[in-house]
């Protein structure tokens, strides 16, 4: 029998790949030659699916660590990092990634404006 976490990760990764191809098709086929600086819904869905997939895998590993710790009779304080710090770290890392994408898109927008203004002045 396949564990439920495998099926959840398979579904989330499928959503991520489909939204990646939708986003790529939008940028490179539908809007070929046009610089797109705004995100479309597929970009957000791709990031959400990637984050949820990572979170599901980490929950699975946390449950395995919990089972192992119960067998070894360790204190529950040692699992504090697994249950609280790890998800918080990944939320922080996702926020940094989104900020990086936003700043990259803003710099692309300013570069595009500069190139357009330079070509109009010639």
Comparison of pLDDT for 29 and 97, the residue scoring more: 29
- Report residue 120's pLDDT band, with 50, 70 and 90 as the boundaries: low
- Token digits for 114? 């500069």
Segment 105-109 mean pLDDT: 67
The reported pLDDT for the residue numbered 96 is: 80
The reported pLDDT for the residue numbered 116 is: 55
Q: What is the pTM of this model?
A: 0.54
- Distances from the Cα of 28 to the Cα of 100, 110, 111, angstroms: 22, 21, 19
Summarize pLDDT for 6-65 with one digit per residue, the tens. 888 899 999 999 998 998 888 888 888 887 777 777 888 888 888 889 888 888 888 887
Give the three-state DSSP class for 75: coil
Q: Are 49 and 17 a contacting pair, CB within 8 Å? A: no
d(CA 65, CA 63): 5
């Amino acid at each position: 029998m396949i564990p439920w976490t495998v099926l959840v990760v398979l579904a989330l990764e499928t959503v991520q790949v489909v939204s990646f191809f939708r986003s790529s098709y939008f940028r490179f086929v539908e809007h070929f030659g046009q610089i797109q600086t705004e995100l479309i819904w597929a970009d957000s869905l791709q990031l959400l699916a990637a984050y949820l997939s990572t979170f599901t895998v980490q929950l699975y590993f946390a449950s395995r660590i919990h089972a192992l710790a119960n067998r070894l009779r360790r204190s529950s304080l040692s699992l504090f990092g697994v249950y609280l710090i790890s998800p918080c770290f990944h939320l922080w890392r996702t926020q940094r990634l989104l900020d990086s994408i936003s700043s990259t898109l803003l710099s692309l927008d300013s570069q595009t404006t500069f190139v357009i203004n330079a070509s109009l002045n010639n």
